[in-house]
Structure 1
Amino acid sequence: MDANRNIQQLRPAPSPAMLQILIALHNDSEAISPLEMLVGQRLNLTAFCAVLNALPNVAAPMVRALAPGIAAFLRQDYPTMLAEEENGLLPALRRRLLLGDDLDQVIDQLIDEHQRDRQQASSLASRCEEVATGVDDDDLVVLCAALRSFAEHQRRHLAWEDATILPLAQVRLTADDLARWHKAMCRRN
């Protein structure tokens, strides 16, 4: 029993600064625009990718302990962010494109990538749920590599959107666009 208590005391706890950051990212205040909320979700995905990237360096028991949370993020948070991009950001931005923007194909490509990414996230979530119940270490190594690959793809995807979509959205979306998007976002959530 004392050994269990000692292990419990050694678990890393979020720092007060990290808790403050997480609270700010999850603030659903009406004063925050839907674009800012989406940026917060994207920051969460960036942090999640950092966790996935570190998994190959983590001992098997810790990976198993993290697996349910990873699966939950892949099943809930990740699809919610994609849906917000597809149902909120991209349609609003598409309405504001100008003749020379040539982003219709880029938006269509993003939506296609999102579909493939959703399928991969669902598959990885299922594998994480299996890991949480205990599999041999060889399967764990393969899963960690797959999660790391997913994280790398997500980082590239985010960087691409950060370079093409978000700057244009910040310039083109009007207050009315953001208000409509916010109302629709509230209905979806």
Structure 2
Amino acid sequence: MDLRFLTVSPGQNRGTPIRTAARSDEWYLPDSISESTIEYDAEQSRVFPVYPELEGFPCYCESETFEHFPTADSQLQRPRLRLTRSFELPGCVHYLEISYCWQYDTATANSDADSEYYIFDTLCGTRHNKAPTRILDAAVAYAAERSFKLIWIDQECIDQNSDTDKQRHISVMDEIYR
């Protein structure tokens, strides 16, 4: 199965600052992040569950091809992300998988006036993120805290304009959410 994952673009582990605001009690976020811009709406979104067995579980696969998602002491920075195909991965199988309702209102999800978007390098060039920025902020923060090098998020890693790609991924969801 040829999956796509989000990785940190080489040499691009620092980017746009993420603004901070009050933390929501409904989110699990790493202890290093006491404040966040993330607002969780249980009706609209299911981001990621807390897996106690992953507490402190780092990915230290031998490959140095891909960087870990960056952490920062005082202010998180948005890294430049890249869509990476599974055949490019040198054997690392540790990734954070994320899903939420596809009918989420993406028109308003990224509408914050001071919100900067992630830029993804793709085979076709660069583009803005499709998933809400606040969900990606949470995913990157969680991946950084847990030392993951890969993130799989349905709205970014499945070609939403291709029924074939959607069907192909739906048929292997049990493998993706292992």
Tell me the TM-score normalized by structure 1. 0.23
**Larger helix proportion of the pair:** 1
Structure of higher CA gyration radius: 1
**Larger strand proportion of the pair:** 2
